[in-house]
């Protein structure tokens, strides 16, 4: 399983920015990620281990500065309490490799989504595969 890689192996596989965010729970600068204003159809997978995490139909423009999704692929994302930086948040990680994706926020009033929650994901933590158009 990918989660059993050492930190040295992760450093060899990931770029320095990916390592900082995915393995060290960092955050990319708001409005800087390539998937923030991205609207193609397809699947977003973990940038570290390639596990599919989100489908494009669950992505929406929240205006928060990071890619936002209202739901993950069932079983793909774990939620962990995060009390860092003086606030209580829910961290989301890849269920396969444990890589940090971002945070999920509930109760913000997203009436156009089936669930009133926003998965705020770092673009560096994901990669996109276009939908097959056969």
Task: Supply the residues annotated as catalytic.
Answer: 120
Rama region for 98: left / alpha / beta (φ>0; ψ in -120 to 50; rest): left
The distance in angstroms from the start CA to the end CA of the chain is: 32
């Amino acid at each position: 399983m990918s989660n059993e890689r050492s930190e040295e192996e992760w450093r060899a596989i990931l770029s320095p920015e990916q390592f900082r965010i995915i393995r060290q729970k960092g955050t990319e600068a708001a409005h800087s990620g390539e998937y923030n204003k991205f609207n193609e159809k397809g699947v977003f997978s973990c940038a570290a281990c390639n596990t599919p995490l989100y489908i494009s139909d669950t992505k929406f423009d929240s205006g928060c500065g990071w890619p936002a999704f209202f739901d993950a692929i069932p079983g793909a994302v774990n939620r962990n309490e995060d009390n860092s930086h003086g606030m209580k948040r829910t961290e989301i990680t890849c269920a396969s490799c444990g890589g940090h994706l971002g945070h999920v926020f509930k109760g913000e009033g997203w009436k156009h989504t089936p669930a009133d929650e926003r998965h705020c994901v770092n673009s560096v933590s994901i990669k996109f595969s276009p939908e097959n158009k056969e």
